[in-house]
Structure 1
């Protein structure tokens, strides 16, 4: 099988990852909440995030929000269908029904103008997904959540270091969940996550749920003389080796951010000519939004043209991919959820979308090749 010369993704390694992993190994303290876990949590505190707790994945962080909110059978959770399955699974596991809302074609985020129509007396929460690191319209969404007394959760898996009106994504909702999977801007050796608790009411209980339902975290801070089982919970701590890798990346976060922005801007400048000719569509965002260049997508005329371009670029040794299949069209989505209103954009726009390679070590000549081959296709 021929190797792709330009892969879709490569994990980032920029600094002291190996050295910090070695340090963690030599410490003989490899479980969660040790040296590098604490270093990472301190970094997030200094960035303005409240009550940051490292988790094994964003999936685990989302599951914690379902427990913290006391989601039960019959509750309804509003979210976009264009997202990863973990966004829905976290609440289906608690017995909730998912109510999917259409997205906007411009940025693939939930349409804030269609949320209110999906609210019923059973609605407990709104979950927003900041697709590709592009923030949702948080002012309006937060206003709706306040008006109807609903929880607001930010699935910020792709959005670390993105801002909305100069405020960090992850600081708007009652809870925010981040991912450090290999495909993300910053990774903790392949898997990892974070939950932040902006609603102080839930801060102490989050620590307990994360530690198997015990008050062990308070015990390690020497606030109590022994710990015991006091609530439901699970094992939601990552190993210190994962956090050692992540901390090396957080130390270089500005460099990673600037490099990815540079790649994103080169793609945009190089492909704008095709967009001006209406051959492709590019993402559109407002001036009050600053994204983190998590991904770069283009949209083709339809699914057939999209698939032809994917095949063409593969033959040019360039790996590109489409993204999520809308959850409401899936077997489980039909069983556990319903679509509010009309699916005007979700299915159609997802069928048109292609993601281009975007990773820290992507070279200028590779970017130029990708742009040129897309132009050649047309």
Structure 2
């Protein structure tokens, strides 16, 4: 069976973990954490980068930093992973879902303005598949209505919008290093802080509501409980693993993007049949996170998934629309979101991982083309 995903090991992960063990610092914010922080601050130009134990944790920190109150509204796409929403629902916010674009699964930026009310506090776009949302209209709306923009950049490592790195556009952004991501540590995440006004409080929230970080820098005589917070630090073992990946990020990205381009070129004939291929706007780049097809119907997708599985290929689908989920449907305002439903019914992801060989990829391509013939 060709799996959908296989976590890639650069070769240095276990050596760095052993190095961390021998150094005797296994809790968070040791030497490997500092290296990872410097990488993102230098390569991305962030005011502050803070590792977390998951992308979900980074989003939860963002929700805490916004000081949301029950009844506040947050606008986000329905076609996204559940933690995009749960991080804000945990703070009592009301999620207002926006439909996807007809062109790709990202949110329809033109539909956001009509959803803004006096209770709106934030807009949370996700860069689906590592391909940028159209951020300029969202940032303009945020300035006009004094809203925060929090980028869910979980799949967006090394993605760009008009020459700017994804994760640097909103006041805050969340990255994921789950094993399905381009750069992975099994689990793990990062809160990217672009507004310096959030830095000090973010450190406190991340350290259980204490000023422990300031204490270790010698800025306070003792650390105390000064705010709300939780334990959001990853262990130094996670950071050591992640550092090995970051050292090899250029090679990892080159391989993934090459596989993405090969899929695009080989499967282009399907577009003439009405099968959707990834649409990359002129303001966005490809980061090689995933490759998908949009089948012409749910029945066609089911048949293609079954045919590929018969041939030893594990393709997958994902994201049931959050607005119609068992948990949130009673709270949704009743608007139909047809494009979110369409992608939920018809989108199929093909295997894409660093160690996918050219022979395996050609086998997958041949199987897909044979199905449509």
TM-score with structure 1 setting the length: 0.96
Q: Deviations over 1:298-342 (max 9, x none)?
A: 011110110010011000000000111110111112144446x54
- Corresponding residue to 2:30 among 34, 51, 75: 34
Match for residue 233 of structure 2?
237
Alignment of 1:165-184 (within 5 A): 165-184=162-181
Alignment of 1:68-107 (within 5 A): 68-107=65-104
Residue 255 (structure 1) aligned with residue 242 (structure 2): no
Work out whether residues 102 and 343 of structure 1, in 8 Å CA contact, stay in contact via their aligned partners in 2.
yes
- Corresponding residue to 1:274 among 257, 270, 273: 270
Residue 67 (structure 1) aligned with residue 61 (structure 2): no
Give the root-mean-square deviation of aligned CA atoms: 1.0
Displacement of 1:277: 3.3
Runs (5+) with no aligned partner, structure 2: none
Using the TM superposition, name which of 170-179 and 215-224 deviates more: 215-224
- Corresponding residue to 2:307 among 312, 315, 319: 312
In 1: Cα distance, 2:137 partner to 2:323 partner: 24
Q: Deviations over 1:211-266 (max 9, x none)?
A: 00000001111222211100000000000100100000100111011100000001
Match for residue 135 of structure 1?
132
In 1: Cα distance, 2:67 partner to 2:330 partner: 22
In 2: Cα distance, 1:338 partner to 1:227 partner: 45
Displacement of 1:274: 1.6
TM-score with structure 2 setting the length: 0.98
**Aligned pairs, number:** 371
Residue 366 (structure 1) aligned with residue 360 (structure 2): yes
In 2: Cα distance, 1:259 partner to 1:58 partner: 24
Structure 1 runs of 4+ off > 3 angstroms?
A: 335-339
Match for residue 156 of structure 1?
153
Displacement of 1:136: 0.3
Work out whether residues 97 and 337 of structure 1, in 8 Å CA contact, stay in contact via their aligned partners in 2.
no
In 2: Cα distance, 1:336 partner to 1:208 partner: 33
Q: Deviations over 1:118-139 (max 9, x none)?
A: 0111111000000000000011
Q: Deviations over 1:78-118 (max 9, x none)?
A: 00000011010011101111000001132200000000000
In 2: Cα distance, 1:358 partner to 1:50 partner: 33
Match for residue 261 of structure 2?
265
Residue 217 (structure 1) aligned with residue 225 (structure 2): no
Match for residue 294 of structure 1?
289
